[in-house]
Structure 1
């Protein structure tokens, strides 16, 4: 089992020292949250909280995700960084491919590229991208990411001709020395199938134990339907079982490869008042009590 440290919506200056502390404590990776804009008016709902409100996002310090991954990679040497998740279809995929390849190259292949659909129509509107057919657009974006970050012919050129994107053969240099894992987030059936068909793994966004059981069962069912027998398919989950050694073993038996753990509820209005020292204390205690015993 691998362990991912999650911290979001805290003071931006905390991320570098937290990354260094997580690396020293033995975590495999660290999530990096993504948020582009906070509109003054919106009737959108957030799908991963009970109330669906989004006011907790107002005035939170969100550094641009790929920039933050680069910064954190520069102050660490082994920790992997996983956008959780990058709002892919609102971004130009050729640019994302260039960013991802650059981060992977500079960091020694320490990027796990978590991607998904933004739940906010306002993100699409702000970026000048249609909200309609966003799933199909995401599929094409993943194809382009895969193609541009790995050589597809003897000269390393890759071209694309899809419904939303089209360009002649081109290449980007430098390329990563290893494939970048593409991890698909989302709880909808289409997202689970996209993770199997297009991705290298699936990222769970949280919820109760019963819902996680259903999602894991459905993911396994889809993998059987698609004939997916990969041993290296990644399954990242948030679960209370991750805070108990026996629970970690239960998750492992269900096919989970990575536990995402955090030590506070980030969905609160107003600033995060927990001191940096307390955050480090929490992550170190978990490493001592759990990672050292089952990792």
Structure 2
């Protein structure tokens, strides 16, 4: 699997528990102050212990100055894409360009349905995602009014706006054959998680993205590869469970052999001190190792 040569990025993937708000905001401050690039927040509106992701993202952006924020990833069945596009553009304007859009097909269909959302088959969920991307981009366009007539979503002369202040990336948190091809054809990034997109699965998944990108006339290197990883520094052993040297070696391998360029850390214990060590000791060393590798 090639190294696409993209700049390395690092961030934190906090769990948006209402009862741990102080901890979540502390993690965002560490990311902002210690030169990490992103805060990614999962979106499960039906989870009673979780804060609303969009309200939390707005709060994080208001309390930080430099770090960018994105939903990791937005729950499309419960977020109509035209409204989602306006929310994303609004956060981008309010934060002076510090917002990206992670987007998924949806899951946990019983919970989605219990909250009033649609239950979709796997094929329907993919088709709806394809339509949603078109709707979102129309809503970010500079056209006076836009129309779209799809099976799942419609626009009937709506006037787009406000415009984002920077080109917001659409990053897809997907893993199926059709959706990986969709990443390659049209998305700006891919957001898998190490729990289901394990390192041994990455080569085949990356290849599907790259084949679709080339077939669509795109350079695969324009697609960001964002990897959600869980673990503990100085943990009990196993993947991303060892000391600093192990973390540096494994993340470096993921970058130079598996093509991942952004690492979103979900600490499995002691989140704030773990993130501080990640920012101070792991991320700089990985950058150094990858730079050395690229220079040959």
What TM-score does the superposition give when structure 1 sets the normalisation length? 0.80
Distance 2:117 2:259 in 1: 39
Pairwise mapping of residues 17-28 of structure 1 onto structure 2 (< 5 A)?
Answer: 17-28=26-37
Q: 1:234 aligns with which of 224, 234, 246?
A: 224
Distance 1:230 1:109 in 2: 24
Distance 1:164 1:262 in 2: 34
Q: Which residue pairs with 1:261 in the alignment? A: 265
Q: Which residue pairs with 1:140 in the alignment? A: 131
**More displaced stretch, 12-21 vs 123-132:** 123-132
Q: 1:117 aligns with which of 98, 101, 105?
A: 105
Number of paired residues? 259
Q: 1:2 aligns with which of 9, 16, 19?
A: 9
Q: Which residue pairs with 2:275 in the alignment? A: 283
**More displaced stretch, 105-114 vs 190-199:** 190-199
Q: Which residue pairs with 2:232 in the alignment? A: none
Distance 2:280 2:29 in 1: 16
**1:74 CA displacement:** 0.2
2:247 is the counterpart of 1:244: yes
Q: Secondary structure at the match of 2:222?
A: coil
**1:5 CA displacement:** 1.0
Distance 1:128 1:209 in 2: 33
Answer yes or no: is the 8 Å Cα contact 2:42–2:73 preserved in 1: yes
Answer yes or no: is the 8 Å Cα contact 1:185–1:191 preserved in 2: no
**1:248 CA displacement:** 3.2
What TM-score does the superposition give when structure 2 sets the normalisation length? 0.79
CA 1:177–1:246: 2 relative to 1, 3 Å: same
Q: 2:94 aligns with which of 106, 121, 127?
A: 106
Answer yes or no: is the 8 Å Cα contact 1:149–1:179 preserved in 2: no
2:78 is the counterpart of 1:86: no
* Structure 1 runs of 4+ with >6 Å offset: none
**More displaced stretch, 174-183 vs 285-294:** 285-294
Distance 2:280 2:67 in 1: 18
Give the unaligned 5+ runs of structure 2.
Answer: 1-7, 230-238, 288-296
Higher RCO, Cα 8 Å, sep 6+: 1
2:163 is the counterpart of 1:175: yes
Distance 2:221 2:24 in 1: 32
**1:130 CA displacement:** 4.2
Give the unaligned 5+ runs of structure 1.
Answer: 39-58, 265-273
**1:9 CA displacement:** 5.1
**1:79 CA displacement:** 0.7
Distance 1:220 1:68 in 2: 34
**1:252 CA displacement:** 2.5
Q: Which residue pairs with 1:74 in the alignment? A: 62
2:237 is the counterpart of 1:221: no
Answer yes or no: is the 8 Å Cα contact 1:121–1:131 preserved in 2: yes
**1:33 CA displacement:** 1.1
Answer yes or no: is the 8 Å Cα contact 1:124–1:131 preserved in 2: no
Distance 1:135 1:23 in 2: 34
